[in-house]
Structure 1
């Protein structure tokens, strides 16, 4: 019963024989780096005792992220794909500018295509969101996600260069990530509230032993909700609150929380993206038009052909699918099942459950007291981790990647410390972007990414996540925002400003 390890040459086989399951199932993992997978197997046993015990008792679906219990699973990735060489499956990335597209070469793809994680997660599933979303007009996106903790090891040949690109040279194979949640080390954490309207710190945490949102089954997603809600019920004092399930909210209640920036937005999930029919758009799609006369059949035109612009305008051609991160990566499946928000009575400490990550932990309040926001964040996060451990679970973490989350952009601290700050003069100065870059800060619109600034108010936050501790990142935001406010004050008085020297990312 449970998990049995068998080693054969260069492969590792995991046998899942779950009580109550009619058949014994095998999953073969092709391995180039035995050390990485040995590591993975140790975590499988030591970090998932609860899941393994449940599987041995017949509750295999609770541990399905690592103990395969669905009779329809294939022996090795998708067997039908083996009918074709990797070159036939290589995605068309010629117009892409995300990190994945930069790092993925035909040779890397050929090496990784037929590998699977213990959860049967494949390379193509990792990169699908980056194939469907070529890039962003303002920022270079990552272009891939992890389906489970092992994704970062099994597909390290692609994840490592993507991580190095996104995190400005951080090398996960040699560097170690620092963690520091001692809020007493923060200095000058009170902003001038004539400029700063609100302050916020957020991060994510993943529960070891359960698949990440792109790969999780319904049972795993519900298990994440159960584990998190039970743990959160133990919070006391100013952290005590209650859980609100999305499935039990009215549309009006959901929208009110979204408008107040307390709740994550609804995913755009039309038929094409939800069913997976929009994958690789527009690769191998086309129309067979009668052109230029009804009697002359023209060869099939690819969707990128300029002649098809009029076909689209005239409603002859199907439109492009809406394809955001959540839907393309499979994270919006079964929405809103097992999703919800927990918040304290003051709505200053919140936890999102089962959006992009298992949990998103947020501390926020109006005004400029970033020190108090961070103190509550650290205290609440440490208390949640303690309560999770009391129940036999733990968060995904390792010394090279820090806390493991779905998107490689959030590895390490997963922390984003941000303020809404009014900068009517500085935002119009041509040096604004250069100043932000040197301070290692990024700006978003008032409503976050992909939104415009309202009333010259911007969402300013740290650009880095990995290789720098939580305390260092929050202090960087405090110092940087104070610098921006000082620049704004000088411009108000008609004085000139200087571009600050670049702040180094990693401490030597």
Structure 2
């Protein structure tokens, strides 16, 4: 089945391309929410209406206008298993809301998985573009081009005063959510992170964990995104996020230098202990795995660990999630069985059986 190539590999092709500042910035994402004028929002639409929306959006794909941006696969959610949907959520290719509650929901994915177009989620259309490293402006350019293609073919719900109308009032206006995922272990270790995060929220940005709203920042991974969608232009939103994230990157670099200079033995010991445990543990829960993978990734970036790929954090953070572990095992697993499989998978990734 075509879905297999999206659900059997943890690392998307776009993630294998090393982007700018990739030692700190894992990924950049822009998501655009749009609705069709002639139909109620998905939460109020009938089954027939949501099916018509699905066909209209699919018609844009069939019309060939998306060809300039690559080849796309169209997957109705009804044709996916619960496990396949869970893996796509863990890879950030669909939202938990689309996986759980959507009527006539579907996703269009580009071959390298850098573009995900969700249909009948909270909004009729959610266009998502992902880039490796710190490339938020490039992600915005790609999302904007996609938006233009759809807007040429479909009539959007738009108000001259309020902008684009969306299912959730917090998205009204531009309908844009731009976010950058950062690995900030040194700011956490030096106890500067709370001060930094408080300053971020005061300039209209939100801080979330690996899986967005409501998720915990495990493994020292933080997602920084805009909160304001109304009253600012798209470019202002992107520029504001860019300038704040640039400052966070510099603070993290300074904190890493300080740790390397003032606490080199303690830092090396911490990294090597985590590496040793990951290489030999027989059972491990997801929270401990994320923290120890964070330590090792920092060790890789600072040259303490030499024989592990720098993509270990991104790949294993996905591979050790419940859905992917069960996909890897080929069956449903209990919590303890997942912890055993997680440890096994990490050992194998580190060259130990």
TM score, norm. by length of structure 1? 0.44
Distance 1:267 1:241, change over 3 A: closer
Structure 1 residues 168-193: Cα deviation after superposition (integer angstroms, max 9, x where no partner): xxxxxxxxxxxxxxxxxxxxxx7421
Q: What does residue 250 of structure 1 align with?
A: 81
Partner of 2:224: helix, strand, or coil?
Answer: strand
CA contact (8 A) 2:209 2:216 kept: yes
Once residues 264 and 480 of structure 1 are traced to their aligned partners in structure 2, the CA distance between those partners, rounded to angstroms, is 26
Partner of 1:197: helix, strand, or coil?
Answer: strand
CA contact (8 A) 2:22 2:132 kept: no
Q: What does residue 198 of structure 1 align with?
A: 27
Q: How many residues get paired?
A: 236
CA contact (8 A) 2:32 2:143 kept: no
Say whether residues 1:222 and 2:55 are aligned partners. no
Q: What does residue 477 of structure 1 align with?
A: 241
Q: Give unpaired runs (5+ residues) of structure 2.
A: 1-18, 260-353
Specify the structure having the higher radius of gyration (Cα).
1
CA contact (8 A) 1:232 1:384 kept: no
Once residues 351 and 431 of structure 1 are traced to their aligned partners in structure 2, the CA distance between those partners, rounded to angstroms, is 36
Identify which of structures 1 and 2 has the higher relative contact order when contacts are C-alpha pairs closer than 8 Å and 6+ apart.
Answer: 2
Q: What does residue 208 of structure 1 align with?
A: 37
Q: What does residue 442 of structure 1 align with?
A: 206
RMSD: 2.0
Match of 2:174 among 399, 413, 419: 413
Structure 1 residues 58-79: Cα deviation after superposition (integer angstroms, max 9, x where no partner): xxxxxxxxxxxxxxxxxxxxxx
Q: What does residue 317 of structure 1 align with?
A: none
Match of 1:362 among 128, 135, 156: 128
Q: What does residue 157 of structure 2 align with?
A: 396
Once residues 20 and 218 of structure 2 are traced to their aligned partners in structure 1, the CA distance between those partners, rounded to angstroms, is 20
Runs of 4 or more consecutive aligned structure 1 residues displaced over 4 Å after TM superposition: 266-269
* Structure (1/2) with the larger helix percentage: 2
Structure 1 residues 85-110: Cα deviation after superposition (integer angstroms, max 9, x where no partner): xxxxxxxxxxxxxxxxxxxxxxxxxx
Q: Please report how far the alpha carbon of residue 237 of structure 1 lies from its aligned counterpart in structure 2 after TM superposition.
A: 2.3
Once residues 267 and 349 of structure 1 are traced to their aligned partners in structure 2, the CA distance between those partners, rounded to angstroms, is 16
Q: Please report how far the alpha carbon of residue 266 of structure 1 lies from its aligned counterpart in structure 2 after TM superposition.
A: 5.2
TM score, norm. by length of structure 2? 0.63
CA contact (8 A) 2:27 2:133 kept: yes
Q: Residues 20-39 of structure 1 correspond to what in structure 2 (within 5 A)?
A: none
Match of 2:229 among 465, 472, 475: 465
Once residues 97 and 156 of structure 2 are traced to their aligned partners in structure 1, the CA distance between those partners, rounded to angstroms, is 26
Q: What does residue 264 of structure 1 align with?
A: 95
